[in-house]
Copies of this chain bind each other. A is one copy, B any other.
């Protein structure tokens, strides 16, 4: 269930190998030669058949995480990609479809396909599910952010585990408060691996105008792609209740989020306390 560090979930890496795909346009497809390309002949169990479009998707994924295609920029057109990978347009289309479904890429008819980004996305706070009660006055949009603390420290065993580090490795630890309409509503503690976020300071966090994930993206080249949250109901301790300006008997939502970059690599642990008197956490089930 839990992703093991550096172990990519998606297959389509071994069975590709000779991905020049100089498949002759002889009628149907060409994937049959997989039986003589990557298959070790004595492969135990599953044959690990991977459709062409999955392989193209994997290649595109590499272009995304290598930085060849940068956030908010357009990727090559479907035509170009088809030529580049020597497949039909329909096949790259299906690959792009999946990338779009995972929000890694955004299609815009008539314009092109663009690398998704946390910045310039004016619906700010892509991962925040807290919305004002329906009886609230208007859209009290602009949240005030206050950085309480930003320090370098050592990862505890637990933090290290979820961030795929070793206990004692350097991490940044950030604490901040978000207020809506002047009311402190969210208290967050963040842990970030020190290496990719080298140079992070409270000042940089304060001076940046935009969501924190946008900052990570533009300043550190770290794109959060997916996240998992564990939610509980808790009571605050003295310090927490003080920061949120509430008493110790006010129940709060505890939202523990692990955010991932490409390849399901965890890059952030965030523990939030949400005050839910004027807001609620919204979720949609399919």
Contact = CB atoms under 8 A, between A and B. Distances in A.
B103 A233 contact: no
A257 B231 CA distance: 16
A253 B102 CA distance: 29
A276 B232 contact: yes
A251 interface: yes
Contacts of A230: 280-282
Interface string A211-247: 0000000000000001111111111000000000000
Contacts of A227: 284-285
A233 B252 contact: yes
A126 B285 CA distance: 9
Contact of A233 (B126, B129, B228, B276): B276
Interface residues of A, number: 31
A286 interface: yes
Contact of A231 (B103, B226, B281): B281
Contact of A234 (B251, B285, B286): B251
Contacts of A226: 284-286
A249 interface: yes
Which of A228, A276, A282 is most buried by chain B, counting CB atoms within 10 A of its CB? A276
A136 interface: no
A229 B233 CA distance: 16
A258 to B, nearest CB: 10
Interface of A: 2, 102-103, 126-127, 129, 134, 226-235, 249, 251-253, 257, 274, 276, 280-286
8 contacts: A2-B134, A129-B283, A229-B282, A233-B252, A233-B253, A233-B274, A233-B276, A257-B285
